[in-house]
């Protein structure tokens, strides 16, 4: 009787740079940019808060200090996801009411 091998490895995401316009992450050996305009929940965070990233699943990133969860697909294709945020005075919603519904 043999046991099964370990499950699929999920590599960590790493903060590589931050500017006034957004931040860059290294995810699966590629660098992705998160514009603060598209992800305003991250705009006013400290570097330490931005750098503390958990990856509980292959398509799931979490910033526990900020209570922010994002799918990698939403980072790659922010236009597919309506922006709903309590940050700032306005809330931007998608003109397509069915966009982003499962």
Residue 45 has pLDDT above 60, yes or no: yes
- State the average pLDDT over residues 6-16: 73
- 64-75: per-residue pLDDT in tens? 999 999 999 999
14-80: CATH architecture: 2-Layer Sandwich (3.30)
Q: Residue 9: pLDDT above 80? A: no
Q: Residue 31's pLDDT band (boundaries 50, 70, 90)?
A: very high
What is the spatial distance between Cα 28 and Cα 30, in angstroms, rounded to a whole number?
6
Q: Is 30 helix (H, G, I), strand (E, B) or coil?
A: strand
What pTM does this model have? 0.69
Report which of 83, 13, 85, 79 is spatially closest to residue 50, judged by C-alpha positions. 13
């Amino acid at each position: 009787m043999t046991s099964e091998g370990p499950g699929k490895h999920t590599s960590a995401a790493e903060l590589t740079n931050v500017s006034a316009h957004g931040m860059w992450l290294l995810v699966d050996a590629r660098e992705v940019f998160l514009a603060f305009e598209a992800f305003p929940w991250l705009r006013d965070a400290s570097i330490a808060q931005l750098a503390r990233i958990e990856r509980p699943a292959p398509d799931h990133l979490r910033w526990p200090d900020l209570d922010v969860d994002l799918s990698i697909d939403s980072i790659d294709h922010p236009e597919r996801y309506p922006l709903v945020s309590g940050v700032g005075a306005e809330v931007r919603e998608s003109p397509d009411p069915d966009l982003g519904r499962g």
